Every structure is written in C-alpha cells, then in structure tokens.
Amino acid sequence: MTPLIEVDFECRFLCGARHIQESRRLSREILDNRQAERSGVALRPAPRGLSWGDADTRSARRKGCEVTDLIASAGAPAAVGASKHATKVAAKRDELARAALKTLSELGYARTSLREIAANSEYSHGVLHYYFADRLELIAHCVHLYKAECIASYDDVLREDDDAPALRARFAERLAATMEHDLPTHKLWYDLRSQAMFETSLAQDVREIDGDLEAMIWRVVSRYAELSDGVPLLDSAGTYAALDGPFERAVRRRVRGDESAGPDLTDQVFRLLDALVIRSAR
C-alpha cells in the first residue's frame, strides 16, 4: 500500500466513513506537511518522536506508535470540521423531512415515494437520496420530527400555580386546537401507526411516539387528579387509550370536512377528564 493511499485510508478511519471530503482534506494536509518537512520548512510540528514522514503504518510502528496518533495530532482542526459538517447534515435532514411531511400528509404512506416528495418540493430526487438511503429512512426521520414537535406543543399545559378547573379547560382546548392546526400531521400519524402493524421498520419509531404521547397524557391527568384531591381511574395506558379514541375520531371527522369536530372534541375531553378521576370521599 503506498503512503498516499495508506494515509487516506487511515484518515477515513479516523474521520468516519461519512466524512470522506474531510478525510481527503486531512490526508492532503499531512502530505503537504511531509513535503514541507523534507524541504526544511515545518508547516506544523509533528508529535514528539515522529516526523510527517511516518504517516504510514509500518514507519510509525517502528517508532512504537500508530499512524492514527500522528493523523489525530494533525487532525484536531479536522475533528472540529467533521463536527460542523455533522451539524449541517443534521439540519439539512430536518429541513428535507419537513418538506417530505407535507407530501406524506397529503398522499399517505403507501402512495409516497422519494420521487413524489421531490416533485412536490424544491429538492431534487438526487438530493433526497444523498441524505437518506431510502424512503423508509426518510419517513422514520419524519416520524421523529413529528414526535418532538407534537410533544413540545403541550409543554406549557402544566403550570405550577394551576388549579383543577383551569387545567381541565386548557388541556381540552389545546387538544382541539392542535387537532385543527396540525390536522395533516395527525392524519399521517394515524396512517403510520396502522402501517407499523405490517411494516416492521416503522414499529420501533411508532412505539416510541406512542410511549411519549402516553407519558404526556398521563402527566396531565395525574396532575389534574392531584389538584382535584383524587386519583386516576385507570393506569397510564388505559388513560391514553380513553383520550386517544375521541381524538382520532375528531381527526377523521375533520378530514371529511366536519367543522364541528373541534368543538365536540373540546367538550368530550372536558367531560372525560372528570370521569377519569376518582375523587376522595369527604
């Protein structure tokens, strides 16, 4: 193996396979330092006991060192560059997933391909394939985004200075408001949850979202029970199911154009919260 190829191979090992451009930049920097060292001009000092000429495995090991030690010393800026690159990639994947969510929510899981997403967004099919291996990876990322944003929309429902009536009204109104405002996304969620019974690649992501939604509902209901001097009637799974049923039905009604779905959901949740709490006898 020639030094150039070996240096590039070791750089790829150090930087990670997904940062090929960074590894090439680093290997070029090492070779430039080697040439400069030979001409008597040190661009950057090599680690103690080594020279840039040791940037191949056999030469480095003769001195009791790994070539990755030398590369790592040269690559401190490369590590920073790789970190910045990873951050940019993550941001771009989120951006593409948000664009994909629009098409997914309109066409549904079964009818959406990467080409359909590209046709309905400003991004090319090639760009989507660059950041995601296939449709399932992109959809899984969409699901994770949905989870984070859906849960975050309920962050301010619980307040330290709350009383039971205020919490009851605010939670009932918030459920109806998010149903209306994020209707396409909720429609997609119920589609994906059904698909997860057949598509094993979606099952874990859907389970995680279900678990987070269940935990969010449980926090609200258990707090309401506490403020009402009572205890929840059901466990967290039963409580989640009791509230998820009316919510899903409201989504289906609203998709069909029923404008009374939101107000009806508010009323149902308002009454359900009371039914889900057993008050202490006085």
Q: Using CA atoms, how far apart are residues 94 and 252, in angstroms rounded to an integer?
A: 28
Comparing 71-85, 136-150, 181-195, the range with the smallest average pLDDT is 71-85
Q: Using CA atoms, how far apart are residues 282 and 264, in angstroms rounded to an integer?
A: 32
Q: Tell me how far apart the 2 most distant CA atoms of the chain are, in Å.
A: 93
Residues in the chain: 282
- pTM comes to 0.65
Q: What is the DSSP string of 154-191?
A: TTTT--TT--HHHHHHHHHHHHHHHHHHTHHHHHHHHH
Q: Which CATH superfamily is domain 143-279 in?
A: Tetracycline Repressor, domain 2 (1.10.357.10)
Report the chain's mean pLDDT, rounded to a whole number: 78
Token pair for 91:
């941001």
Q: Tens digits of per-residue pLDDT, 69-104?
A: 544 454 455 455 567 777 888 888 988 888 888 888
Q: Using CA atoms, how far apart are residues 101 and 38, in angstroms rounded to an integer?
A: 56
Residue 6 clears pLDDT 80, i.e. is over it: no
229: left (phi over 0), alpha (psi -120 to 50) or beta: left
Per-residue pLDDT, averaged over 235-256, amounts to 97
User: 281: helix, coil or strand?
Assistant: coil
Return the half-sphere exposure (C-beta side, CA atoms, 13 A cut-off) of residue 153.
16
The domain limits of the chain are 143-279
Spell out a b/e string for 189-210, using b for 16 or more CB atoms within 10 Å of the CB, else e.
Answer: bebbbebbeeeeebeebbeebb
**If residue 230 lies in a helix (H) or strand (E), which one and from where to where?**
strand 230-232
Per-residue pLDDT, averaged over 257-266, amounts to 96
Per-residue pLDDT, averaged over 170-199, amounts to 91
Higher pLDDT, 41 or 84: 84
Alpha helices in 182-260 (DSSP H): 183-195, 200-227, 236-255
C-beta separation of 128 from 118 below 8 A: yes
